[in-house]
Amino acid sequence: MGLEDNFHQAVGEWIEHCRNPHVQVSSSSESIRNCDAYRKIISLGKEALPLLRQLYDTDASFYVSGQDEKGEYAAFSTKKLANRQDFMSALFAFQYGETAEESNTGFNQMTQIGREESEKDLPLSIIKGHGLVSVIREIVGDDFSIPEEIRGRISAIEDYTKEWLDKNMHRYVPT
C-alpha cells in the first residue's frame, strides 16, 4: 500500500475509534488522540500534510434547524442533503404543508434524514475540530501553534490551520 492508501485506512480507523460513545461524549481531546490510528497518521510524517489539508475541505458542517416533537434539535449537513430528493420533499412539506400535521410530519422526516447523515460525519467533525491540529503539531513541531486569541474557537482554528498549511506546507513537502 502507498502513502495515500495507508493514510485513508488510518483515517478510517481513527473515525471508527471516534464513533465510540465514550470518545464522543468525552470532554478531553486526549480520548480522540489515544488510539493506534492517530499514531499511524503521525508516523506517515511530513508527506501526509497534503492529505491532512484535504481533510479540511471535506464537508462536515452542520446548521441547527429547529426542535422536533421530543424537543431535540435537528442538525443537517448543509451540502449533502440538498441533493437528496426525500429531504427536499420533507422540507417542502414542512414549509408549505396545508395543515400543522403535514408540516410536523415533514419536519420529523427532515430530522430523521438529517440525523442519519450527521451521524456519518460527526466523527470527522470531531477529528477536524480537535485531532487534526494535534497531528499537524506532532508532525511539524513548534513551527505550528495556534495563536492564543483563537484558542477554543473551532472554526477559527480550522481556518487558521488551513491557511497555515497553504502557506507553509512547501517547507516540509517538496512540490
The pLDDT tens digits for 16-46 are: 887 777 877 777 778 888 899 999 999 999 9
Residue 135, pLDDT score: 94
Instruction: Indicate the helix (H) or strand (E) that contains 132.
Output: helix 132-140
Owner of C-alpha cell 465514550: 22
Tell me how far the alpha carbon of residue 108 is from its chain's centroid: 24
Average pLDDT of the residues in 48-70: 67
Percent of the chain with pLDDT over 90: 30
Instruction: Indicate the helix (H) or strand (E) that contains 67.
Output: strand 62-67
What is d(CA 170, CA 175) in angstroms, rounded to the nearest whole number? 7
Average pLDDT over the chain, rounded to whole?
A: 80
Is a pLDDT exceeding 50 seen at residue 15? yes
Tell me how far the alpha carbon of residue 82 is from its chain's centroid: 18
Q: Which residues lie below 8 Å from residue 149, measured CB to CB, with a gap of 6+?
A: none
Does the reported pTM lie above 0.75? no
Residue 63, pLDDT score: 41
CB 35 within 8 A of CB 65: no
pLDDT tens column, 137-162: 999 999 999 999 998 887 888 899 99
